[in-house]
């Protein structure tokens, strides 16, 4: 189907397949073609890019991604969407839909495979809000050779994750491998059903591979707030603390206050 994101097309598909959005999977479908095209514009993908999309829903974003990208691999948890996606994306030959919980995907292996054929591999998603942090952490710590991540998240989450004075395990993970930016604000009115809050596009450009030592560091660091990271970690890494923090790209004097 052409222009799935048009409200009339979305409603046609949802009604035809008696598909009710479920909170269980954080389903809020985009129903504004113009906004979907602007989102794709933020990603700067091209035919040398393979996109991994998390949660295609009825395919609104996947369709527009398919016009710009070389290949699109979508992971969808809700098997009720099988028939809908078979119809909506029937003409998009470069889209592959896999029905699997994204949090069980071997991302490192999948990205390695697509890197053999495409110059870049990017992740693009209108994320289910109930597991935003879990998904971001899963991607960031996967050690997969991803070039960039462009995800729609709650506006407040995007503001926090791009605020240099805000510290959380996720901000440290992002900082340790690249840079983040808030690229676009999105009104809650362009979704069906409309969520309670507005959204934003958060982009993360990856320059370095994740250092797995960081997960250990963050667990220890966030047990005792107020102290600097260095002081918190001295008990764990002793004289190696400074070296390990430097390797992970973390400022020794940072504390965990918001």
Distance CA 97, CA 89 (A): 9
In the complex, the smallest distance separating the C-beta of residue 246 from ligand SAM, rounded to whole angstroms, is 35
Give the nearer residue to ligand SAM in terms of CB position, either 76 or 175: 76
The closest of 124, 116, 123, 58 to 92, measured between CA atoms, is 58
Binding mask 2-41 for ligand SAM (x = CB under 6 A): -----------------------xxxxxx-----------
Count of residues in contact with ligand SAM, rule CB under 6 A: 21
How far is residue 233's CA from residue 166's CA, in Å, rounded to a whole number?
20
CB 218 within 8 A of CB 169: yes
101 is in an annotated binding site: yes
- Burial class of residue 232, CB neighbours in 10 A (0-12, 13-18, 19+): buried
* From candidates 55, 70, 169, 178, binder to ligand SAM by CB under 6 A: 55
Which one among 40, 49, 56, 199 touches ligand SAM, defined by CB under 6 A?
A: 56
Chain positions 140 to 199 lying near ligand SAM, rule: CB under 6 A, are none
Residues 249/208, Cβ–Cβ less than 8 Å? yes
Give the contacts of 111 (CB within 8 A, at least 6 positions apart).
52, 121, 142, 144, 145, 146
- As annotated, the binding site includes 28, 30, 55, 76, 101, 126
- As annotated, the binding site for S-adenosyl-L-methionine includes 28, 30, 55, 76, 101, 126
Give me the residues that bind ligand SAM (CB under 6 A), please: 25-30, 54-57, 60-61, 75-78, 101-103, 126, 128
């Amino acid at each position: 189907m052409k222009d799935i994101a048009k409200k009339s097309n979305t409603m046609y598909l949802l009604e035809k397949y008696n598909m009710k959005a479920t909170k269980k999977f954080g389903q809020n479908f985009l129903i504004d073609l113009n906004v979907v095209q602007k989102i794709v514009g933020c990603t700067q993908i091209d035919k040398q890019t393979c996109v991994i999309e998390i949660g295609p829903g009825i395919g609104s974003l996947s369709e527009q991604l398919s016009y710009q990208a070389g290949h699109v691999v979508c992971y969808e948890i809700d098997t009720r969407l099988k028939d809908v996606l078979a119809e909506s994306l029937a003409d998009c030959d470069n889209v592959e839909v896999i029905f699997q919980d994204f949090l069980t995907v071997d991302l490192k292996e999948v990205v390695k495979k697509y890197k053999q054929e495409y110059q870049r591999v990017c992740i693009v998603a209108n994320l289910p809000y109930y597991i935003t942090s879990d998904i971001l952490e899963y991607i960031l710590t996967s050690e997969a050779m991803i070039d960039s991540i462009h995800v729609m998240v709650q506006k407040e989450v995007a503001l926090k994750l791009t605020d240099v004075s805000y510290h959380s395990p996720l901000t440290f993970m992002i900082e340790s491998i690249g840079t983040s930016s808030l690229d676009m604000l999105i009104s809650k009115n362009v979704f069906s059903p409309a969520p309670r809050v507005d959204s934003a596009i958060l982009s993360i450009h990856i320059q370095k591979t994740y250092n797995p030592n960081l997960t250990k560091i963050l667990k220890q660091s966030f047990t005792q707030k107020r102290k600097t990271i260095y002081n918190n970690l001295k008990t764990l890494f002793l004289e190696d603390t400074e070296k390990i923090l430097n390797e992970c790209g973390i400022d020794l004097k940072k504390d965990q206050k918001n």
